[in-house]
Structure 1
Amino acid sequence: MIDVIGAGTGAPLDPTARAALDAATLVVGGQRHLDAAGLHARVARVVLGPLAPAFDAMAEQLADEHARVVVLASGDPGFFGIVRALAERFGSDALRVWPGVSSVAAAFARVGLPWDDAVVVSAHGRELRTAVNVCRAHPKVAVLTGPGAGPAELGAELVHRADDRTLVVATALGDPEHEHIERVTPPEAAARDWGSAVSVVLCLDESRALSPVRTVAGPSPTPDRWALQETAFAHRDSMITKFEVRALALARIGPRLGDLVWDIGAGCGSVAVECARFGAAAVAVEKSADGIERIRANAAAHGVDVRAVHGAAPTVLSDLLDPDAVFIGGGGRELPAIVKACARRARRTVVVALAALDRVPAVRKALGDAGFSCDGVLLQSSRLAPLPGDVSRLAATNPVFLLWGDRHTAAPCYEGAVH
């Protein structure tokens, strides 16, 4: 049996966990946990670094039926912690877990906020971009930090993309001498050297830090419906992607939590808003100033964050981070160049809506040349429309070509500029 004990965020050990620690023949843990555990002199110790050597030492010790092995971990070891790796190596039946207070729970407690509505994302040993996209899209996020993915790196990524966020940096949680909680802006976080003692970073839109009462914990539920009617958006002269087209476009884009989606030639931003409703970080690129205002108004009306970028594609795209998926709903004569630029950068999918038959071959070629498998349909729909006498007719909408390309190989790394 392996006793896994969570410690280090300020709560005292359970008496039974303390007894297991006192009876241990081998204790595995980080140096600070070993130093603070009050171990007797004769107990064997392994400082936890790479898991494989530590696990091999545990396996050797467990060959003796009288051995008592204890693993010390931070907070709740079953929450983004060592329990997963231990269960994979030794089996869950071999574990007895004594959870402590997780660093996320402790950090939110220190600032007096509930966290049933928070999104928790780990950047420890993982790509930082996912954490950044979640922070851009959601008002309350806890980021578990790691080397190269701490407050400075997170702040640098948010400076020009979510500068309305507040970062709460929790350092050395549970350490009575060194614990420190500090609120900073993304630029302030980016300018500091935080060292290695940061436990967790909370990223907050403080205007929305208290949500209504929740039934299900975690991020907001996915929308109960999508491909909303055009009347759900402010738009000009019917310049909006029709809901039939939007429905298939969303199916091909596949927006999800942690994604970044571009909406190019966004118009009123209906596609960007719908992607944001699914939890993705969304950027809407629009060349008209009044379109930018409509995008912002529509995002606010639907309670989501969409970054509106004023400018013409493909010129402004060099200032954006690489997207997971792209929707292109405008472009005119520049459309082939825009598709080429987007296909060069997209990690997963590019979806293009166009009315002109003459441009279909050029779009297909641009997607194919970028290594995408290309497919598409011509969408022709007729909607019910009222006639006098309480009867209906079918009113045809304009036909639209929807083309999409999916990347089947690893995306090239084009991280773009810093803005």
Structure 2
Amino acid sequence: MITVVGTGTGAPLPPDAEDAVARAGLVVGARRHLAAARLPADTGQVVLGPLAPALDTVERYLAGTGRRDPAEGAGGAGGVAGAEGASGADGVRDGRVVVLASGDPGFFGIVRALAERFGPERLDVRPGVSSVATAFARLGLPWDDAVVVSAHGRDLRTAVHVCRTRPKVAVLTGPGSGPAELGAALAHGTGARVLVVASALGDPAHERVERVTPAEAAARDWGTAVSVVLCLDASRVLAPARTVAGPAAGPDRWALDESEFAHRDSMISKFEVRALALARIGPRLGELVWDVGAGSGSVAVECARFGAAVTAVEKTRDGCDRIRANAGAHGVEVRVVQGTAPAALAGLDDPDAVFIGGGGRELPAIVTACAGRARRAVVVAMAALDRVPAARDALDAAGFACDGVLLQSSRLAPLPGNVTRLAATNPVFLLWGVRPPARTEGVPQ
């Protein structure tokens, strides 16, 4: 049996956890956890460093070979220190392994790795209070409607995109993905966000919970005591009561009617085109979508309604104002960049997917620029059929798998006398390219 004890945020171990530690033959944890647990001198110890060697040591111990290997460092990552002593020549007390972990070990913690290696039926998990719960408690805020993102040992970009779109986000930090890096990424074009940086939670002498702007966070060295950063839109932190925790549900409908957007002279992607474009873009929480030649911003707004972070690029000032107005009317955030593509794309973060709804004679260059930076997909809408070959060639040259369709639809339209006719809309060619999944050497795809 493996007992996994969540130490919370500085609170002493509960009595049953202290008893488990006292009877354990092997205790695994960070140096500070092991030091605070006051282990008997003859208890085997593994100081957590790289996870895999530590799990290997636990597996050997459970298999009955837990005595210290002289080739392993005493107390190093995966090394067992003091496995022999008063409790017997083989170092075993009751066969128990105790793993000490911060907060709630089942919440972005070590429980996942242990369950995958040893099976959940062999785990006795005793959770503590997570750093996220503690941070929100310090602010007096509920967090059932918060989105929690881990940037610990992960790419920060997902956390950045979620912070751009959701009013209440908790980011679990790590080296290279802390408050300074998050603040730098959010310092421009993120609306009214405040970062709450929680350091040394649970430590009465050193705990600090500070509210700063993203720019202020970017300008400081926060050290290593930060475990969680909250990104909040102060005007929306108290949402109505929820039935389902976590991110808000996606939109109940999409491919909205053109009448639901402000637009000029019918210069807007028709809902039939948007429906298929959205299916090929696949906007989702934690990703970034570009809408290039955005016009009214109808595609940008629809992607944002699905939870994606969106940057809309439009060359005219009145067009940019219209996009902002449409985003506000639908309660979403869209970063608007005035400029002409492809030059206007140079300073933007790389997107996961791109929709190109305009471009004129520059379309091949725009498609080439977008295809060179899109992680997943590029979708192009064209009214002029003679522009299709060049756009397709640009996607092919970037290694995308291409497909397309000519959309021709007829809508119901009333006639006098309570009768109906079919009114044809202008045909539009929709071309899309999908980046093939990366091949793993030696593994067939």
Q: What TM-score, normalized to structure 1?
A: 0.95
Aligned to 1:414: none
Task: Please give the per-residue CA displacement for 1:13-34, whole angstroms capped at 9, x wherever unaligned.
Answer: 3432232122222211111112
Asked whether the 8 Å contact 2:8–2:130 carries over to 1, the reply is: no
Aligned to 1:51: 51
Task: Please give the per-residue CA displacement for 1:84-103, whole angstroms capped at 9, x wherever unaligned.
Answer: 11111111111000000111
Separation (CA, whole Å) in 2 of partners of 1:398 and 1:121: 43
Q: How many residues align?
A: 411
Q: Aligned AA for 1:161? A: G
Any idea what SS the aligned residue of 1:67 has? coil
Aligned to 1:395: 423
Separation (CA, whole Å) in 1 of partners of 2:218 and 2:297: 30
1:396-411 pair list within 5 angstroms: 396-410=424-438
**Offset at residue 232 of structure 1 (A):** 1.2
* Identity score, percent: 76
Separation (CA, whole Å) in 1 of partners of 2:41 and 2:154: 37
Q: Aligned AA for 1:201? A: V
Quick check: 1:376 aligned with 2:376?
A: no
Q: Aligned AA for 2:155? A: E
Separation (CA, whole Å) in 1 of partners of 2:112 and 2:49: 16
Task: Please give the per-residue CA displacement for 1:393-418, whole angstroms capped at 9, x wherever unaligned.
Answer: 1111000000001111549xxxxxxx
Asked whether the 8 Å contact 1:8–1:33 carries over to 2, the reply is: no
**Offset at residue 246 of structure 1 (A):** 0.0
Quick check: 1:42 aligned with 2:70?
A: no
Aligned to 1:230: 258
Asked whether the 8 Å contact 1:24–1:67 carries over to 2, the reply is: yes
5+ unaligned residues in a row in structure 2: which ranges? Answer: 65-91, 440-445
Quick check: 1:261 aligned with 2:266?
A: no
Aligned to 2:224: 196
Asked whether the 8 Å contact 1:4–1:70 carries over to 2, the reply is: yes
Aligned to 2:9: 9
Any idea what SS the aligned residue of 2:372 has? helix
Equivalent of 2:318 in 287, 290, 293:
290
Asked whether the 8 Å contact 1:163–1:185 carries over to 2, the reply is: no
Q: What TM-score, normalized to structure 2?
A: 0.90
1:59-70 pair list within 5 angstroms: 59-64=59-64, 66-70=94-98
Asked whether the 8 Å contact 1:6–1:99 carries over to 2, the reply is: yes
Aligned to 1:167: 195
Aligned to 2:86: none
Equivalent of 1:109 in 120, 134, 137:
137
Any idea what SS the aligned residue of 1:88 has? helix
**Comparing 177-186 and 157-166, the one that deviates more:** 157-166
Asked whether the 8 Å contact 1:138–1:305 carries over to 2, the reply is: no
Consecutive aligned runs of 4 or more in structure 1 exceeding 6 Å deviation: none
Equivalent of 1:130 in 150, 154, 158:
158
Separation (CA, whole Å) in 2 of partners of 1:308 and 1:116: 31
Quick check: 1:76 aligned with 2:91?
A: no
Separation (CA, whole Å) in 2 of partners of 1:410 and 1:322: 18
Q: Aligned AA for 1:170? A: A
Aligned to 2:27: 27
Any idea what SS the aligned residue of 2:229 has? strand
**Offset at residue 45 of structure 1 (A):** 1.7
**Offset at residue 67 of structure 1 (A):** 2.2
Separation (CA, whole Å) in 2 of partners of 1:368 and 1:157: 32
> CA, structure 1 residues 205+149, in 2 after alignment: closer, same or farther (shift >3 Å)?
same
**Comparing 41-50 and 89-98, the one that deviates more:** 41-50
Task: Please give the per-residue CA displacement for 1:200-224, whole angstroms capped at 9, x wherever unaligned.
Answer: 0111111111111111111110111
Task: Please give the per-residue CA displacement for 1:165-216, whole angstroms capped at 9, x wherever unaligned.
Answer: 1111111111222111111111111111111111101111111111111111
1:233-244 pair list within 5 angstroms: 233-244=261-272
Quick check: 1:352 aligned with 2:380?
A: yes
Separation (CA, whole Å) in 1 of partners of 2:332 and 2:357: 20
Q: Aligned AA for 2:250? A: T
Separation (CA, whole Å) in 2 of partners of 1:357 and 1:112: 58
Separation (CA, whole Å) in 2 of partners of 1:18 and 1:294: 62
Aligned to 2:75: none
Q: Aligned AA for 2:235? A: S
Q: Aligned AA for 1:307? A: R
Any idea what SS the aligned residue of 1:345 has? coil
Separation (CA, whole Å) in 2 of partners of 1:405 and 1:60: 49
Asked whether the 8 Å contact 1:163–1:186 carries over to 2, the reply is: no
Q: Aligned AA for 2:415? A: L
**Offset at residue 11 of structure 1 (A):** 4.4
Task: Please give the per-residue CA displacement for 1:362-395, whole angstroms capped at 9, x wherever unaligned.
Answer: 1111111111111101000010111111111111
Separation (CA, whole Å) in 2 of partners of 1:45 and 1:199: 25
Q: Which has the larger radius of gyration?
A: 2
Asked whether the 8 Å contact 1:167–1:185 carries over to 2, the reply is: yes
Separation (CA, whole Å) in 1 of partners of 2:365 and 2:51: 49
Task: Please give the per-residue CA displacement for 1:320-352, whole angstroms capped at 9, x wherever unaligned.
Answer: 010000000011111111111111111111000
Aligned to 2:114: 86
**Offset at residue 163 of structure 1 (A):** 5.3
